[in-house]
Amino acid sequence: MLRWIRQQLGFDPPHQSETRTVYVANRFPQHGHYIPQRFADNRIISSKYTIWNFVPKNLFEQFRRIANFYFLIIFLVQLMIDTPTSPVTSGLPLFFVITVTAIKQGYEDWLRHKADNEVNGAPVFVVRSGSLVQTRSKNIRVGDIVRVAKDETFPADLVLLSSDRADGTCHITTASLDGETNLKVGVFTLICIYVVYFYVRPLGPENLLLRGARLKNTKEIFGVAVYTGMESKMALNYKCKSQKRSAVEKSMNTFLLIYLGILLSEAVLSTILKYAWQAEDKWDEPFYNQKTDQERNSSPILKFISDFLAFLVLYNFIIPISLYVTVEMQKFLGSFFIGWDLDLYHEESDQKAQVNTSDLNEELGQVEYVFTDKTGTLTENEMQFRECSISGTKYREVNGKLVPEGMTDDSPDGSTPHLELLFLKAVSLCHTVQISYDQPDCLVGGGDPFSHVNGFSSNHMEYYASSPDEKALVEAAKRYSSIRSFPKGLRTLVVACRHFSPEEYIDVDRRLNAARTALQQREERLQEAFSYIERDLQLLGATGVEDKLQDKVQETIEALRLAGIKVWVLTGDKHETAVSVSLSCGHFHRTMNILELLQQRSDNECSCTLYCISSALIVCLLNVLSFRIKEDHVIQHGLVVDGASLSLALREHEKLFMEVCKNCSAVLCCRMAPLQKAKVVRLLKTSPEKPITLAIGDGANDVSMIQEAHVGIGIMGKEGRQAVRNSDYAIARFKFLAKLLLVHGHFYYIRIATLVQYFFYKNVCFITPQFLYQFFCLFSQQTLYDSVYLTLYNICFTSLPILVYSLFEQLVHPHVLQSKPGLYRDISKNAMLSFRTFLYWTLLGFCHAFVFFFGSYILMGEDTTLMGNGQMFGNWTFGTLVFTVMVITVTLKLALETHFWTWMNHFVTWGSIAFYFIFSLFYGGIIWPFLHTQDMYFVFVQLLSSGSAWFAIIIIVITCLFPDVVKKVFYRHLHPTSTQKSQVKRAEKLLRIQHSAPAETNVSSQQLVVV
C-alpha cells in the first residue's frame, strides 16, 4: 500500500519485470498465471506533476529552499509566542511567494502535460474481439494487435505479425529516434502460421518495430504490442527526471546560510546584552514596564529562549523572502524574450525558439562544455552523392559525360569498361532502395535530381532505402551529370565483388540459414558466416557521399571556442565518418594533433594507451612552460574515443581518462550508445571542478544526455519531438546556439546576478538599523519600523525597479557580444556571484545602514528641536526618517547600476519613490478603524513639514552614493574589464556617427546648391 501511494505521488517508479510472456490479442491461459497489471500502460509522461501530487510535491520542493523553510519557521514562532511584530509580516509574504512560484511551475508543467496529451491521445486502430476498433494511444495494452498505416508512427514497441508486402517485410524510418532518415527493414517471422504446431522461433531486433519510428513504403502492417509506455525502448533511454538547479540558485543558498549565521549572531548578541543590562542595578525598569509575578517566577532558560526567538523575529527580514518570488517572476517573464527573438526563428520550417523551463535561463551564461550529437544536429541529415573512384580512377563530369579525372600510380592502365560496368552493376543492385510513385509532391533528398526515366516523371518518384548512402548512390546513378568532386567530409563505401560457383552458393546459403536460426551466439555465428563470404574479394572502387553540414556550424563552433567553451561531439557513427565530419565542421583543426583511444580490448591495453597519451600531453605542456610559447602558437590536441574503449577507460581509469580529456581542446566520442552519452556528461558534470554542461541533440537517443546535462537543448528535427519535449530549450538549428549562449545567456546571468546581490544589499540596509536601535532602547525588542512598512518594503517599495532592471538590462549591445565571443569569459565561472563580490555588496549594505541610522540620530539628538512648535520628533518619526532615506538610497543605488535605460526603467524607478511618498501620506493621514493602534497617524506629514528633515534626507543620500560614483569612475579608468572597454568603444563609435551625420548633410546640401 505504501509503495502504491509513493508511486501515485511520483516518488517511486513502477517496478519493471525482468521477463515477460505476451499473449497475442490478450488470450490468457485458463490457469491464470498471467498478470496483466504488471505491465505499464501506454502513456508517455514527460511532466513532473500530477493532479494528485502537485500540492505535496511542489510544497516539498519549495520548502527545500532555505529562505522558504526559514520563513515558515519564523511564522510558526510568531504564532506560538509573543513577538514584537505581527505574524502577518511573515505569513503574508510567504504565502505570496509560495503561491506565485506554484502557479509558475504549474503552468510550465501544464505545457508538458499538453504536449504529452497530444501523443497519448493520438488515434490508433487495434483488434478487439476480432474487429478493428479505433482507440487512443494511451489505451493500448501489452498483447493488443495494432494496425499501423503508411507514414504513421508506431504507438508502442511492436513485433511485426503481418505486412501487405509480398515478402512479409516493412520499411521504417527512425529519424525521431536516432536522427537517421534512412530506411530500416522489419521482418515478418510467420510465427502465427506455425503456432498450431508449437513451432518455436527466436525473435531478433529485425522483428521489433520501435515506438517513435515511422512506417514507410508499406501500405499497412499489423503488430502485437510487447512493450508499452515508459517501458518502451524510447522511454527507457530517458533519464529519470530530477529538479535541475542553476549555479546561481546554489550561490543564493550559500549566501542565505551566511546571512542566517549573521541573523543568529545578532539575535544571540542582543539576547546576551539584554540580560547583561538587566543584571546591573542602575538600570531599573520603569514603573509602567514592571514584571509580573509569573514572569519573575518563570524559568530563566525558557525566558532566554523566548527572548532569543523574539529577537530572531525582529531581525528576520535580513533574509529576503521576496528574493525567490522576484527571481521566479524574472525567469518566467524573461523567458519570453527567447521566443520573441527573430534571430532564433527558422523561416524554412516556421519554427521559433522554445522555452520548456525558465529555471535555467542564467545557466546559459555559465556553460563550459557543450556535448552535441552529430547526425541531424551538426548535419542536415541529407545524403548527397559527390564522387566515385573505379579501379583507382576518379570520375568527374565533362560536358555532361563521365570521364576519368586522372590516373593513379596503382592503376597505370586505367579502368576498363568491364570494371566500370561491374562497378555500376554492383551499385545498382546491392541496395535496399524502393521507389514509391503515389506521392507526386514529395521528394526525399531535396531538389530535383532526376529526369524522365523509364517513362516516369521524376516529380512522381520518392526513394527509400535502409542506408542513406545507398539512397544517395541510386539517386546519383539516375543522372551521371550530378557527380562532382567534393573531397571534404565524405562518407565512403567500398565496392567489391566475388564470383561464386553453384556449389559455393549452396554452401553459403546453408551457413547463413544456420546462423540466422541459431538460438545461442547468433551474432557471433552470423559474423563468421559473413567473414567467410567477404573474403577473396575483387576491389572495384569506392564512392563518396556527403552528409551536408548545417549552415554556419563551423562559425558557431569557432565562436564557442573563443568564448572559452569546449565542444565534445558524441555520435553513434563509425570512427572514420565522425572524424571526417569533425574536420569539416571545424571541431577538429587540420593543425590539431589527433590522439586516438580506439579498439581497446582489455584493461591493460587501455591503461597503456591512456598513459602514452597522458605522457605526450605532459611533454607538450612542459615545452610550452619552458619556452614560454604564446597561446596562439600552442599545438592543440584532439581526442577520439569509441564506445567500447570508453567503457574500459571508465571502469578502472576514470581519473586518468578525465585528465586526458580536460587537456584536449576537442573530444570526439564515436560508436556511442544513448546511455553512454549520458554517462559521459555525468562524468564531467560530477568532476571536482563541477563545470556547467550543455547537451544538444535532435533524436530520442539524445534524450538521456539532454536530461543529464545542466542545460538540455533539443533540435527541432524533421521528425519526432522526443528531444524537444524532454529538453529545457529547443531551437531549430545548431547555429542558433551561439546567440542563445553568447547574448541571451550573457544578459540573463548579469541580470540575475545583480538581482541577487542587490536583494541582499537592500535587506542589510533594512535590518541593520533595527539592530542598532536596540542599543538605544535597551534591547526591549521595540521595532524601529511600523509593521506595514516591514511588510511592504520588499513587496512594494523596492521590488519593481529591480524586477524591471533584471528584465531589460544590457551591459553591452547584442551585436558586440556576438562579434566578440571573448566577452563571455568575463562572466564565466560564476564571476559576478563570487564571494569577493558578495562581500563587497554586504559591507556596502552595512556602511549605508550605519549612515542611515547615525545620520538620522545626529540630526534628531536629545537637544535638537525640529518642529515649529518647539516639540521634538518621536520614536515613529525617527524610524520613518530612517526608512525614507533607505528607500530613496537603495532605489538610486540601482539607478547607478543601470546601463540600459528604457521608459519602463524610468517609470518604476521614479514611480517607486513617488509611490512610497503617496502611500505614506495616505496611510498616515487617515485613522484606520481596523488597526489596533494609530501610531503612524500624521507622522509622515509631520516629518515632511520639517525643512531640517528634507535637508537630512538629501545629505544622507549623497553621503551614501557619492563614494560609489567615485569608485566606478576610478575603476573604469584604472582597471577596466573587457566589457567596459567594449562599452567605451561602442560609445565612441556612436559619437563619431552622430558627428559625421551633420557634416554629410551639409555636404549634400552644398552639392545641391552647386547643381
Longest dimension (CA), the chain: 126
In angstroms, rounded to a whole number, what is the distance separating the alpha carbons of residues 97 and 75? 14
On whether 986 is known to bind a ligand per the annotation, the reply is no
Annotated binding residue 373: yes
- DSSP label of 79: H
Give whole-number Cα distances, 234 to 174, 178, 301, 618, 701, in Å. Answer: 11, 10, 62, 42, 7
Cite the active site residues. 373
603 in a known ligand binding site = no
**Residue 972 burial (CB count, 10 A):** 14
Cell of 722: 522526443
Rounded Cα distance between 575 and 492, Å, is: 12
Extract the runs of DSSP E, i.e. beta strands, from 921-984. Answer: none
Residue 203 near residue 122, CB atoms below 8 Å: no
Say whether 1001 counts as a known binding-site residue.
no
Is 406 assigned a ligand-binding role in the annotation? no
Which amino acid, 513? N
Q: Which residues contact 809 (CB under 8 A, 6 or more apart)?
A: 747, 750, 751, 754, 898, 899, 900
Is 698 annotated as contributing to ligand binding? yes
* CA dihedral over 513, 517, 522, 525, signed as positive or negative: negative
What secondary structure does DSSP assign to 188-220, as a single string?
---TTTTGGGT------GGGEE-TT-EEES-SE
Helix axes 322-334 and 66-80, enclosed angle (nearest 10): 140
Classify each residue of 196-223 as buried b or exposed e, where b means 16 or more C-beta atoms within 10 Å of its C-beta. eeeeeeeeeeebbbbbbbbbbbbeebbb
Residue 146 pairs in a beta bridge with: 126, 223
Judge whether 572 is annotated as a binding position: yes
Pairing state of beta strands 131-136 and 169-173?
Answer: unpaired
Which burial class, exposed, middle or buried, applies to 473 when counting CB atoms under 10 A from its CB (0-12, 13-18, 19+)? Answer: buried
Angle at alpha carbon of residue 286, lines to 283 and 288, rounded to 5°: 155
448 annotated to bind ligand: no
Rounded to 5 degrees, φ, ψ at 220 are -165, 155
Q: Is 152 annotated as a binding residue?
A: no
H/E segment holding residue 403: strand 401-406
- Return the C-alpha cell found at 292: 509580573
- Cα separation of 114 and 216, whole Å? 28
244 assigned ligand-binding residue = no
Decide: helix, strand or coil at residue 577. Answer: helix
Would you say 53 is a known binding-site residue?
no
Q: Strand ranges (DSSP E) for 269-378?
A: 354-355, 369-372
Question: Binding site: residue ranges?
Answer: 373-375, 470, 491, 571-573, 671, 677, 698, 701-702
Question: Binding site for Mg(2+): residue ranges?
Answer: 373, 375, 698, 702
Question: Binding site for ATP: residue ranges?
Answer: 373-375, 470, 491, 571-573, 671, 677, 701-702
